[in-house]
Structure formats: structure tokens, C-alpha cells
């Protein structure tokens, strides 16, 4: 599927093809590239039925924003009638009785769900290697990771299996895999997209967002999924901007902040060069570069790995074998059932984070770790506020390296965590951020990250779209048949 989502929307409206034809092409490509392991569940019969309904609706004058367009959902969103596993043995057979708000809204706009994408277990990981269903492979080089935790969605879009997919981002899980797979991924502001029906990892950090070829594509998907939801107490009541209509315009007068801390030790030289070339392109388009500082950004990583595991330990306490999900066999009593169920149902990375989080919240350590991390989180947010007093958006590398080899970091969790060094501060501050392709290094995609003010997704999308009108990195494809 070589066309972008926006091109498919226009093609469907013009009658150049039907939804059934697009869905059949998507399903055929999913089967052809099953070795990527991008999907956990595909329901061909339901997808074709939804495509036929979309074609009938269009024939009757229907005009849904995404009417008839195939897409996929990360397997963290509840979907009525289709299992939602979170890539864990704990939920391997769970079928939700309702749709998440994100799923329901995309359905209401006519999108056709072809299946659920693979991910790191309970969204915990940076490589998509912690999945109970096996690792996803990067379409650019199948010996490498696609990034995580939304690696299945990123790989599916990059390989042309679907034109767009949903993802979630707790510390970079949309942007880092988007960078590794050469696509565009947007993490909206915290509260811009409802979390209802999105299985929780760290509730104060999690946010759903779109993953697609281009900023224009992301604008279409975000327009369909964003907005207030009274079932999510953290949902913003501020009206949604016109993301599609707001794409037009030049960059004259735009001030782009360049974070000095993001160009030091640890950044791959080729990624640094590609980032500087992208910044130079923005200058040619009329923007002005401004030096800014985020002095507490280096401390974001330890801050995050106290707060996120603490919230995860609480959120995952519900998986005990009593109400739903996996239950161990052969237990002696209730306590033994709890221990065996959680011991067998969770993978190593999930157990590690539950243990860290429980320790940080325990008596005697709550003040020393959790409360200090909360204070540091405030300092990180204050750094961004100070930077935005000097600029309109912030730009820099999305990740310090390109996609690394499968298995290269599985025995070194800290090294794995370091891949999120540029993305985590954004989640701590609750801001919107986007990653888009900005070059190649060693034949692998390089991602450029743009960070905006709170609820300023429209500006982020416009700036990214203008860059993509002037360059073709987002149109580069992996070497797949």
C-alpha cells in the first residue's frame, strides 16, 4: 500500500477504488509479511464486512472522515468482539465487552479495523521484544528491532500493511518506534485523547496517538480520535482545533528552540548530522533557530523509572487470576494462586517494573524516591515553560541511535532505557510531541522530534507538514516486495 492515508481518503471520495479493494490489499500484504510479526490478531471476515458496509454508506451519500480506510489498533485498546491481549499471557484470551473511546470514535468516522498490532507486554519496553507473542521485526532490516512499545503499529505502517495505526506513548512509545521505522508518530498533549478503554500502564503519563506516513495523515487520524470524553476524568474540555485545515501556511517568524543538552555525549554522529541538516532546512523555510536549555532533562530518566513503575505496580495489581485473565493451575490456596498466576502470567520486564514500583511506594522509601521524583517532574515541566518563553516549538533528535539489533540490549535494561532519553521529558511535562523521518544513517531511518506547547498539536502538525512538503524522507520505503 504505497499511498498515504490522506491520498487514500481522497481516492475513495473520487471513486478510484472501493474500501473492499483497499482492505483486501491490506489483508494480502499482512499475510505476505507475516514474518514481521506486526499483528497479534487479524479478523479478515469482520474487516471485509466493515469494508462492504463502508462502501454501501458511501454509495448512500455517507461522508465519514475516514470512511472505508483500513487501519490497525495497538493491542492495548479494548475492542468489542476481538481479543485484547496487551501482548501478555495474562490477557491472551481476554475479549472486552466494549470499545475504547479511541476505537469507537474511529469506527464512527468510518475507519475499518483490520486487526490488533503487537507491542511490548503491557507497553513496557523500548524494543518490542517483551511481547508474549514474540518480537516484531523492523521492515528496514528484519534483524533489528522496530522500537517499542508501539513497534507493531510502526512496523505495520512502515511496511505498507496499513496506512495508519494507533499507538500509545508513556515515555516515547509512539515517537521512538516511529523514528526507528521511518514513519510519522504523534504523542498528543496529556488529556487531548481519551484514555477510556486503553489498558493502563502509568496513568499520569499514558497518551494515545496516531502513527502514519506523514503529518497530514496524523492530522486526519487525530481529528477523528481527539476530544473531551466524560468517561475519562483527565480528558481536556478545550475544543479540538482544526488539524487538517490548519496544515496550510508558511514558517515565517517561527522560532525553533534547539536544546543544547541533546547534542552531547551519547548521540550518534550521523543522527546529529541528519538533525542539523533538518534544522538548516527549517531555516531555509523561514524559521529562526534559538538556543535553549532543559537543564533537568538528564534527570528525567531516573525520575520516570520511579514514577512509571510505581503507577504500574498499582495498575497491574488487578491481574490476580480472580476476575478475568490467566489463572495458574495446581495452586494450594488463594495466596498460592495469586503468586503462581502473577509469576506465570507476567513476563520478566513487567515483573521488574512491578518490583521497582512496589519498592518505591513502600514504607520508608516513599519519601526518599517517589516524592522526590514528583518534585523533579515539576522541575522538568518548569524547564519547558522557560524554554517556550524563547521559542514556539522545540526540535532535536528523537532517539540517540538508529534501530539496534534484536537481542542486543535484552540483558542490559539500563542501556535499553537510555534510548528514551530525549522523549521521556515530554511525557513528564504532559506536552505534545511528534517524530518524523529526517534522514538515513547506515541505511536506517533517523527521526526528528518536534515538541510543542500544551494542546498546540495544530502548530506541530503544520510545521511538520511544511517540512515534509519540502523533503521526501517520509516517502522513503523499506526494501520490501
Catalytic site residue 203? no
Question: Which residue among the candidates 88, 127, 131, 173 is catalytic per the annotation?
Answer: 173
Taking a C-beta distance cutoff of 8 angstroms, is the pair 116, 88 a contact? no
Q: For the packed helices 215-225 and 101-108, what is the interaxial angle rounded to 10 degrees? A: 100
Q: What is the rounded CA–CA span in Å between residue 462 and residue 246?
A: 6
Q: Where are the beta strands (DSSP E) in 361-460?
A: 393-397, 433-441, 444-451
Give me the sign of the Cα torsion angle 480, 217, 78, 63.
Answer: negative
Tally of CA atoms within 13 A in the half-sphere of 343 that contains its CB:
9
DSSP-derived 3-state class of residue 355: helix
Question: Which residue among the candidates 19, 74, 116, 127 is catalytic per the annotation?
Answer: 74
Q: What is the rounded CA–CA span in Å between residue 361 and residue 351?
A: 15
Catalytic site residue 149? yes
Catalytic site residue 248? no
Q: In sequence order, what are the residues at sequence separation of 6 or more whose Cβ sits closer than 8 angstroms to the Cβ of residue 247? A: 215, 216, 219, 461, 462, 465
Question: Which residue among the candidates 88, 126, 149, 150 is catalytic per the annotation?
Answer: 149
Per the structure block, which three cell numbers stand in for 216? 497530514
306-343 in b/e burial notation, b at 16+ Cβ within 10 A?
bbbbbbbbbbbeebbbeeebbbbeeeeeeeebbebbbe
- Cα 158 → chain centroid: 14
Taking a C-beta distance cutoff of 8 angstroms, is the pair 155, 30 a contact? no
Residue with cell 479478515: 44
Taking a C-beta distance cutoff of 8 angstroms, is the pair 166, 72 a contact? yes
Per the structure block, which three cell numbers stand in for 35? 514474518
DSSP-derived 3-state class of residue 138: strand
Which has the closest alpha carbon to 194: 219, 215, 225?
A: 225
The DSSP string of 98-125 is S--HHHHHHHHTT-EEEEEE--SGGG--
The residues assigned a catalytic role are 74, 149, 173
Amino acid at each position: 500500500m504505497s499511498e498515504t492515508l490522506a491520498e487514500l481518503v481522497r481516492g475513495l471520495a473520487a471513486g478510484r477504488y472501493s474500501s473492499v479493494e483497499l482492505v483486501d490489499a491490506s489483508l494480502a500484504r499482512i499475510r505476505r509479511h507475516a514474518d514481521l510479526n506486526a499483528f497479534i490478531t487479524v479478523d479478515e471476515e469482520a474487516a471485509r464486512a466493515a469494508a462492504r458496509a463502508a462502501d454501501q454508506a458511501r454509495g448512500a451519500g455517507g461522508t465519514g472522515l475516514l470512511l472505508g480506510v483500513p487501519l490497525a489498533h495497538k493491542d492495548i485498546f479494548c475492542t468489542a468482539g476481538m481479543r485484547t491481549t496487551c501482548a501478555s499471557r495474562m490477557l491472551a484470551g481476554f475479549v472486552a465487552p466494549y470499545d475504547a473511546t479511541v476505537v469507537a470514535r474511529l469506527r464512527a468516522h468510518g475507519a475499518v479495523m483490520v486487526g490488533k498490532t503487537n507491542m511490548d507486554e503491557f507497553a513496557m519496553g523500548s524494543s518490542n521484544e517483551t511481547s508474549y507473542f514474540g518480537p516484531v521485526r523492523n521492515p528496514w532490516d528484519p534483524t533489528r528491532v522496530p522500537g517499542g512499545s508501539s513497534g507493531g503499529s510502526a512496523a505495520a505502517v512502515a511496511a505498507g500493511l496499513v496506512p495508519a495505526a494507533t499507538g500509545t506513548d508513556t515515555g516515547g512509545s509512539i515517537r521512538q518506534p516511529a523514528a526507528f521505522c521511518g514513519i510519522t508518530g504523534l504523542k498528543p498533549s496529556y488529556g487531548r485523547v481519551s484514555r477510556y478503554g486503553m489498558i493502563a500502564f502509568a496513568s499520569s503519563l499514558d497518551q494515545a496517538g496516531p502513527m502514519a506516513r506523514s503529518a497530514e495523515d496524523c492530522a486526519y487520524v487525530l481529528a477523528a480520535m481527539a476530544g473531551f470524553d466524560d468517561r475519562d476524568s483527565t480528558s481536556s474540555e478545550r475544543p479540538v482545533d482544526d488539524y487538517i485545515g490548519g496544515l496550510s501556511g508558511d514558517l515565517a517568524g517561527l522560532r525553533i528552540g534547539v536544546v543544547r543538552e541533546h547534542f552531547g555525549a551519547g548521540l550518534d554522529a550521523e543522527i546529529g548530522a541528519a538533525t542539523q541538516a533538518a534544522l538548516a532546512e527549517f531555516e531555509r523555510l523561514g524559521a529562526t533557530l534559538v538556543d535553549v536549555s532543559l537543564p533537568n532533562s538528564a534527570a528525567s530518566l531516573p525520575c520516570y523509572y520511579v514514577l512509571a513503575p510505581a503507577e504500574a505496580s498499582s495498575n497491574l495489581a488487578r491481574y490476580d487470576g480472580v476476575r478475568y485473565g490467566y489463572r495458574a493451575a495446581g495452586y494450594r490456596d488463594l495466596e498460592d494462586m495469586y503468586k503462581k498466576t502473577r509469576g506465570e502470567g507476567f513476563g520478566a520486564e513487567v515483573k521488574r517494573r512491578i518490583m521497582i514500583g512496589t519498592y518505591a511506594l513502600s514504607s520508608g522509601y516513599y519519601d526518599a524516591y517517589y516524592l522526590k521524583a514528583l518534585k523533579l517532574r515539576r522541575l522538568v515541566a518548569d524547564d519547558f515553560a522557560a524554554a517556550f518563553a524563547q521559542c514556539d516549538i522545540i526540535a532535536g533528535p528523537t532517539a540517540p541511535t538508529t534501530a539496534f539489533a534484536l537481542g542486543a540490549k535484552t540483558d542490559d535494561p539500563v542501556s535499553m532505557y537510555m534510548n528514551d532519553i530525549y522523549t521521556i521529558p515530554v511525557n513528564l511535562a504532559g506536552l505534545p510531541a511528534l517524530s518524523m523521518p529526517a534522514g538515513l544513517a547506515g541505511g536506517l531511518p533517523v527521526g526528528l522530534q518536534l515538541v510543542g506547547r500544551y494542546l498546540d498539536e495544530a502548530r506541530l502538525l503544520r510545521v511538520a507538514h511544511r517540512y515534509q512538503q519540502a523533503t521526501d524522507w517520509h516517502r522513503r520505503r523499506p526494501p520490501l516486495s
